Structure 1
Amino acid sequence: MKTSLPLTIDNGLGETLIFQKLVPEPDGDRLLVENFVAPGMGPLMHVHHLQDEGLTVVKGRIGYQILGEPEQFAEAGETVIFKRGVAHRFWNAGDDILNCQGWVKPANTIVFFLSAIYAAQRKVGKLEPERFDAAFLITRYASEYSLPSIPAFVRKVIIPTTYRVGRLMGKYRKFANAPAPMGK
């Protein structure tokens, strides 16, 4: 599944992400990104199992946290790096729109995955994405991304059950051309 860049996605809840371009590098393409995040908004605690991520604050104040560590903050001109496999979250810790420029490396399926998550959030108008779409994405891309903030019972029972029911109901036809997960 080939996506032309730049591509702008918006979850309708205060997060806009622009996938700007792919920069070929010998050890994997680097995806250049820019985000605009409303005060108090930002992704849940999450893990990129196969990717590093870097964000440089252009305007505003970013709050960020590594799982199990205290919250930290960065201002305009400062850069935050999240290493692959490390659970992290970030949010707009200021009163105005947070703007960051950054990268994800290697790009892998991140454009598809986040585009589908944002679309599922827009569908229901909530941070928690539409349940069937979320179950599909979390299940299919488990080797690449995870959300440690989801309770174990939900991860081990509810999501797999929802995924199976969704398959039986034919809810995943729209994902027929979804890219294969990496790392399998």
Structure 2
Amino acid sequence: MNFTFPHSIDNGTGETLIFKQLLHEPDGDRLLVDNQVAPGSGPPMHVHWQQDESLTVVSGRIGYQVLGQAEQFAGEGDTVLFERGVAHRFWNAGTDTLTCTGWIKPANSIVYYLSAIYAAQRKSGSVQPEPFDAAYLLTRYASEYDMLVIPPFVRRVIIPITYRIGRLLGKYNHFAGAPRPLPAM
């Protein structure tokens, strides 16, 4: 799946991402991004199994947390790095829009994955993505991404059942041409 840059996505719940440019580097493609996050908004605890993510605050205040550690905060000019395989979350900890610039490396399928997740959030009208789309994306890209806020029973039982029902009902036709997931590391 090819995207033209810049490519903007908005989840309808306070987060906008602009994928600015893809830089081809010898050790993997680096995707340059900008984001804008409304006060109190931000992604829940998640992990990128095969990517590093860096955010530099342009304006506002970011709150962030690595799983098992205390919440931390950073302001204008500060950079936060989330290494691959490290579960994390971040949010706008201020009262004005949080604006960051940053990168994700290697880019892998992140543009497709986040575009699809944001579309599923818009479809549901909430921070919870539409269930069939979420089941498809979490199942297909399990080797690359995980959402740790999902209770274990839901992950092990409900999501696989929802995924199978979605397949039977033909709910995933709009995912035709989705990039192949990377093998688990």
Return the TM-score normalized by structure 1.
0.99
Note the C-alpha offset of 1:88. Answer: 0.1
Is there any run of 5+ residues in structure 2 with no aligned partner, and where? Answer: none
In the aligned structure 2, how far is the partner of 1:154 from the partner of 1:168?
Answer: 20
In percent, how many aligned pairs have the same letter?
68
In the aligned structure 1, how far is the partner of 2:37 from the partner of 2:134?
Answer: 22
Match of 2:160 in 1: 160
Alignment of 1:23-102 (within 5 A): 23-102=23-102
Note the C-alpha offset of 1:75. Answer: 0.2
Note the C-alpha offset of 1:107. Answer: 0.2
- The list of structure 1 runs, each at least 4 consecutive aligned residues, that deviate by more than 6 angstroms after superposition, is none
In the aligned structure 2, how far is the partner of 1:183 from the partner of 1:46?
Answer: 19
Provide the secondary structure at the position in 2 that maps to 1:167: helix
Deviations 1:14-41 (A, max 9, x none): 1000000001110100000000000000
Match of 1:13 in 2: 13
Aligned length: 184
Note the C-alpha offset of 1:176. Answer: 1.0
Match of 2:149 in 1: 149
Note the C-alpha offset of 1:183. Answer: 2.1
Match of 2:136 in 1: 136
Tell me the C-alpha RMSD between the 2 structures.
Answer: 0.6
Provide the secondary structure at the position in 1 that maps to 2:85: coil
In the aligned structure 2, how far is the partner of 1:173 from the partner of 1:150?
Answer: 25
Note the C-alpha offset of 1:83. Answer: 0.2
Note the C-alpha offset of 1:45. Answer: 0.2
In the aligned structure 1, how far is the partner of 2:148 from the partner of 2:123?
Answer: 23
Note the C-alpha offset of 1:124. Answer: 1.2
Letter in 2 for 1:178: A
Provide the secondary structure at the position in 2 that maps to 1:177: coil
Provide the secondary structure at the position in 2 that maps to 1:54: strand
1:178 aligns with 2:183: no
Letter in 2 for 1:79: T
In the aligned structure 2, how far is the partner of 1:147 from the partner of 1:120?
Answer: 15
Provide the secondary structure at the position in 2 that maps to 1:165: helix
